[in-house]
Amino acid sequence: MDISQDLEDFNQSAEQALEQLQEQHILHMDELTAKIDKVLTHQHELIALVRKVSKHNICLPIVKKEELGPVKHDITSNIAVHLPALKCLLERKSVHLFQQYDF
């Protein structure tokens, strides 16, 4: 048994294991990036929807009156009053999307 050969074999296998881990890490980071992009796309869609609502003075179909907090009556009457509540709802839905993807 040659100790230098054993060390060389050990180093080679350690380098291979490290390369595999680095490749797995890169794949995992790519998956995370894709998930983050998907969440950001959803967030941008929600932001666009909120902007559309504020321009057209209409109610979001995804918004339940009870989710808007203290303002529970006829939310279509004055959407500007509800924009802070819609913003909070948007943030909660974004957080929910992030949690949904098991980072």
Please state, in angstroms and rounded to a whole number, the distance separating the CA atoms of residues 39 and 23: 24
The domain locations on the chain are: 3-100
pLDDT of residue 78: 54
Q: Residues 19-71: pLDDT tens digits?
A: 999 999 999 888 888 888 888 888 778 877 777 766 665 554 555 555 555 54
Nearest to 72 by CA among 82, 83, 62, 80: 82
79/58 Cα distance (integer angstroms): 7
Name the H helices within 1-103: 3-56, 79-100
Find where tokens 């109610």 sit.
59
Measure the CA–CA gap between 43 and 94, rounded to whole angstroms.
6
> For position 96, what pLDDT does the model report?
62
- pLDDT bin (cut points 50, 70, 90) of residue 73 is very low
